[in-house]
Structure 1
Amino acid sequence: MIKLVLSDMDNTLVPLGARHVPVRTLRAIHAVLDAGVRFGPATGRDYVELMRFFRMDESCFMTGIFSNGKRVRADGTYVSTTLLDHDALVRIDRALRGEKGMFLVCYPADTNLFNPAYGVGTTSDELAVFEARTSFNGAVVDEVPDIDFVAATIACPGGPERMERCRELVAEAAPEMRVASPIPDWFDIMPQGVSKAAGLDVLLDALDVSLDEVIVFGDAENDLEILRKVPHSVAVANATPEVAATARHHVGACADEGVADALMEVVRANAAGEDPAFFSAS
């Protein structure tokens, strides 16, 4: 029986650029919760962004893996928090300065619904492109502010070759960090050893849930480790080829609310004492 469902956010649960989770998907999440199954995000997003995405309905993410594993929440309590090393962010910023269009975005650990992420060493116009695309509110600064950050990303327009160049720059400037791409032209930054998969170990221990009682939905590179870890890994139809090949099960596209349909099937299957139909359809 399934006891926990985790889902990536961008391009899995909510279309990229959308400000809110669709209403039908919210209803499906509540149907799962009402059936006694925990639900939560496994995402690069953090608390404030999740509040906005879920229309201020915190019950949808009382449990989950936030900021690509840098925060883990179990039944409303943070059981793990990892902050980013300030010096490493400074070194990454300096490495990006000579690359046209590349810049660092830092997300404070202590923030509010205005979500003032900091675009470092960029322009308002350049920042605005990614604000609209990835749904955050930013401010331009000259240097990395000397405060605690729970997340950081890199804007990297220009296609695969530029993305590879960015990977090399980060690896050289801050080998204690790594990057993963949730969407084209964009990287998440994590400390080595921190990931959604590592966060899952912490979460399952806190909840006393086993790997075979979990379903995880995803679509992109930063989902690969956690999808490889769980027996019931699920790719949405719009997933990258690598994610589609990695996942054991498959459901409809994000734009068609494939996860919502799958959630309702989990409710039905648990009540009937069966596996969800999409397990055998994959």
Structure 2
Amino acid sequence: MIKLVLSDMDNTLVPLGARHVSSRTVDAIHAVIESGVRFGPDTGRDYVELMRFFRMDESCFMTGIFSNGKRVRADGAYVSTTLLDHDALVRIDQALRGEKGMFLVCYPVDTNLLNPAYGVGVTSAELAVFEARTGFNGGVVDEVPDIDFVAATIACPGGPERMERCRQVVAEAAPEMRIVSPIPEWFDVLPRDVSKAAGLDVLLDALDVDLDEVLVFGDAENDLEIMRKVPHSVAVANATPEVAAAACHHVGACADEGVADALLEVVRANAAGEDPSFFAAS
């Protein structure tokens, strides 16, 4: 029986660029929770962004893996928080200065619902492109501020070759860090030992839930580790080919509210003592 459902956000639970999760999806999340199954995001997004996505309905993310594993929340309490090393961010910024179009964006741990972020060594016009695409409010600075950051991202305009170049640059400048791509032309910066998969270990210990009682939905590179870890991984129909191949099960596309359909099927199946129908379909 499924006891915990985790879902990526962008292009899995909510279309990229949409301001809010659909009302039908929120209703499906409430139905899952009311049936006794915990639900939460496993996402690169953090608390204030989730407040916006869920229209201030915190009941939808009392449990979850936030900021790609840098924060883990269980029943309303943070059980793990990892901040980014300032020196590593400085080295990454300096290395990116020589790469056309690439720049670092840093998100402070002390934040608010406006989701302010620092675009480092970039023009306002360049920053605005990615502000609109990913939903943050940026300010331009000349260097990485000396404050605590819970997240950082890298803008990397261009095709796969440019993204591969970015991986090389970061690996050389800060080998203790790694980058994963949730959407094209965009990377999340993580310590090497932090991931959604590592966050899942912390969460399962806190909740006393077994791995085979977890259902995970995803669509992109930053979902691969956690999806390979659980027996019941689910790719939405718009997932990347690599994620689709890694997933054990498959559901409808994000734009068609495939996760909402699957959540309602989990409620039905648990009540009937059965596996969800999309298990057999896979």
For the superposition of Structure 1 and Structure 2, which TM-score range results when normalised by the shorter chain? Answer: over 0.9
Tell which deviates more after alignment, 131-140 or 143-152. 131-140
Q: Which residue of 1 aligns with 2:140?
A: 140
Q: Is the 8 A contact 1:18 1:135 kept in 2?
A: no
Q: What's the counterpart of residue 26 of structure 1? A: 26
- 5+ residue gaps, structure 2: none
User: By how many angstroms is 1:48 displaced?
Assistant: 0.6
Say whether 1:267 aligns with 2:267: yes
Runs (4 or more) in structure 1 with deviation over 4 Å come to none
Query: Pairwise mapping of residues 137-216 of structure 1 onto structure 2 (< 5 A)?
Result: 137-216=137-216
Provide structure 1 residue ranges, at least 5 long, that are not aligned to the other structure: none
Tell me which residue corresponds to 2:115.
Answer: 115
C-alpha distance in 2 between matches for 1:85 and 1:39: 30
SS of aligned partner of 1:162: helix
Structure 2 CA distance for aligned equivalents of residues 141 and 19 of structure 1: 26
Residue 86 (structure 1) aligns with: 86
- Over the matched positions of the two proteins, sequence identity in percent amounts to 88
Once residues 28 and 135 of structure 2 are traced to their aligned partners in structure 1, the CA distance between those partners, rounded to angstroms, is: 23
Match in the other structure for 2:218: 218
Q: Which residue number corresponds to residue 17 of structure 2?
A: 17
**Which one-letter code corresponds to 1:281 in the other structure?**
A
Deviation string 1:115-149 (CA, Å, 9 cap, x unpaired) is 11111111111111111111111111111111100
Q: Give TM-score, length-normalised by structure 2.
A: 0.99
Q: Distance in 2 between matches of 1:28 and 1:139?
A: 37
Does structure 1 residue 253 correspond to structure 2 residue 243? no
What is the deviation of 1:99?
Answer: 1.1
Instruction: For 1:227-246, list aligned pairs within 5 A.
Output: 227-246=227-246
Number of residues of Structure 1 aligned to a counterpart in Structure 2: 282
Question: Partner of 2:98 in structure 1?
Answer: 98
- Residue 100 (structure 1) shift: 1.1
Task: Output the aligned Cα RMSD.
Answer: 0.5
8 Å CA contact 1:156, 1:163 repeated in 2: yes
The TM-score with structure 1 as length reference comes to: 0.99
For residues 122 and 103 of structure 1, the distance between their equivalents in structure 2, rounded to whole angstroms, comes to: 7
- C-alpha displacement of 1:193: 1.0
Supply the distance in 1 between the matched residues of 2:269 and 2:241 (Cα, whole angstroms): 28
Residues in 2 aligned to 1:263 and 1:136: alpha-carbon distance in whole angstroms: 29
Contact 1:35 1:267 in 2 (8 A): yes
Distance 1:132 1:225 in 2: 28
Contact residue 62 and residue 75 of structure 1 kept, 8 A: yes
